[in-house]
């Protein structure tokens, strides 16, 4: 219940609204909220007439690599996450989408895909209330002005995207005392999040080509993220858009960086482009040259960096507050219980 996909979503809603969270499947409940890690073959879904809200936050349904899709389904079956059947993972997901009263996703891009299976689809982003809102005011106040500091935050699955910004980092570091701070788990697992442990530092160095003394890793926590943001000039979110699951990720990471008062450059995913165009900021990078020029511009011009952060924070205040998200959850749960 403490993973981001839980605590920032249904747990945030239930606790805010004073609802009891029941994890014992033998108890009677008003509605079942299932995640993509659920055992879709569980008898509770077969026998119970309790309404089901399926919180499908990742874009697994856009999977194009059939071999990888089938391997994921088999591995979840062998690991006993899924109790019966032997199918591709998207087959499990599509069947469960049809069975659910409502499907909740995290972006309009994902919603387009899911609506072909279940018309009762709602888009709800994560709550970021656990992260302080750092108002930039009239100036970006940095602890250390002599070091150009860039912030990256995320999980190990998105670290390979660093190779798209690697050439730009190399050029910028030639003229600046540069460091890149990473807020992430110091170790990761290759399979199902629990098998074949590896060091995150090695993965970062391989894809970024940064010198070891330029890489600073802090374990993920709201405190570490907030503290490092106060020491950073800008944030970057380079991603591998050739991977459908990553390409259709929502804008959560971008909104977190703005919330922390940082300008943020991103790859040209549909979600990042949609939000950047709406806000009116030049934050999308599609080539190595664009990464270098836009990073250097923000590092050299604190006022330009501040203005981008201010625009981003205005967007959050208008579209991503706690009450706004709670209302969306209210509507989704009510829809599930009315079907």
Residue 319 structure tokens: 């579209």
CA dist., res. 38 & res. 89, Å (int): 12
CA–CA separation, 93 vs 198, rounded Å? 29
Same domain, yes or no: 306 and 178? yes
Residues 18 and 119 in one domain: yes
51 assigned to some structural domain: yes
Write down the pLDDT at residue 138: 52
**Residue 54 placed within a domain:** yes
The parts of the chain modelled with pLDDT lower than 50 are 143
Burial 234-250 (b: 16+ CB within 10 A, else e): bbbbbbbbebebbbbbb
Same domain, 328 and 276: no
Pairing of strands 178-183, 264-267: unpaired
Cα-based angle 37, 30, 14 (whole degrees, multiple of 5): 65
Percent helix, strand and coil across the chain, each to the nearest 5:
45, 15, 40
DSSP 8-state assignment for residue 242: T
Q: Whole-prediction pTM value? A: 0.92
Based on the fold, state whether residues 223 and 307 are members of the same structural domain.
Answer: yes
Asked if residue 161 and residue 77 are part of one domain, the reply reads: no
Cα 267 from Cα 55, distance rounded (Å): 26
Question: Do 108 and 226 have their domain in common?
Answer: no
- Provide the 8-state DSSP code for 21: P
Cα–Cα separations (whole angstroms), residue 66 to 62, 70, 319: 11, 6, 37
Q: Does 291 lie in the same domain as 192?
A: yes
Do 94 and 193 belong together in one domain? no
194 and 170 both lie in a single domain: yes
Task: Give the CATH number, domain containing residue 73.
Answer: 3.40.50
pLDDT reported for residue 300: 92
Q: How far apart are the first and last CA of the chain?
A: 27
- Which residues are CB-neighbours of 334 under 8 A, at least 6 positions away? none
pLDDT for the residue 141? 55
Residue 171 tokens read as 């050029």
Query: Same domain, yes or no, for 171 and 46?
Result: no
Same domain, 118 and 204: no
For residues 307 and 234, is the Cβ–Cβ distance under 8 A? no
Residue 280 belongs to domain with CATH number = 3.40.50.2000
Indicate the DSSP class of residue 165. T
Predicted local distance difference test score (pLDDT) of residue 194: 74
Residue 85: what pLDDT?
82
Split into its structural domains, the chain has a count of 2
Residues 211 and 312 in one domain: yes
The residue range of the domain holding 297 is: 148-319
Q: Is residue 188 part of a domain?
A: yes
* Nearest in space to 34 (alpha carbons), one of 119, 92, 111, 112: 92
pLDDT digit string, tens, across residues 132-182: 999 886 555 554 567 899 999 999 999 999 999 999 999 999 877 899 999
């Amino acid at each position: 219940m403490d993973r981001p996909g839980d605590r920032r979503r249904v747990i945030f809603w239930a606790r805010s609204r004073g609802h009891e969270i029941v994890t014992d499947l033998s108890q009677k409940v008003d509605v079942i909220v299932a995640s993509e890690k659920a055992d879709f073959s569980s008898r509770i879904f077969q026998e119970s007439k309790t309404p089901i809200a399926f919180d499908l936050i990742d874009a697994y349904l856009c999977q194009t690599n059939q071999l990888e899709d089938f391997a994921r389904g088999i591995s979840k079956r062998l690991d006993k996450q899924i109790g019966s059947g032997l199918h591709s993972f998207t087959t499990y997901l599509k069947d469960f989408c049809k069975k659910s009263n409502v499907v909740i996703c995290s972006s309009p891009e994902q919603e387009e895909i899911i609506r072909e299976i279940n018309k009762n689809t709602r888009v709800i982003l994560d709550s970021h209330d656990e992260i302080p809102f750092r108002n930039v005011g009239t100036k970006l106040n940095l602890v250390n002005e002599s070091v150009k500091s860039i912030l990256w935050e995320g999980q190990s699955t998105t670290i390979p995207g660093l190779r798209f910004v690697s050439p730009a980092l190399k050029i910028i570091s030639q003229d600046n005392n540069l460091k890149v701070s990473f807020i992430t788990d110091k170790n990761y697992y290759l399979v199902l999040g629990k098998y074949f442990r590896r060091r995150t530092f090695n993965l970062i160095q391989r894809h970024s080509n940064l010198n070891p003394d330029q890489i600073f890793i802090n374990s993920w926590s709201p405190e570490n993220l907030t503290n490092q943001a106060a020491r950073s000039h800008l944030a970057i979110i380079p991603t591998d858009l050739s991977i459908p699951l990553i390409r259709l990720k929502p804008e959560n990471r971008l909104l977190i960086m703005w919330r922390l008062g940082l300008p943020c450059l991103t790859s040209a995913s549909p979600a990042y482009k949609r939000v950047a165009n709406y806000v009116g900021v030049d934050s999308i990078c599609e080539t190595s040259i664009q990464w270098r020029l836009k990073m250097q511009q923000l590092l050299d011009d604190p006022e330009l960096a501040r203005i981008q952060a201010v625009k981003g924070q205005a967007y959050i205040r208008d579209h991503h507050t706690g009450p706004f998200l709670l209302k969306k959850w209210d509507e989704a749960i009510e829809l599930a219980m009315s079907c």
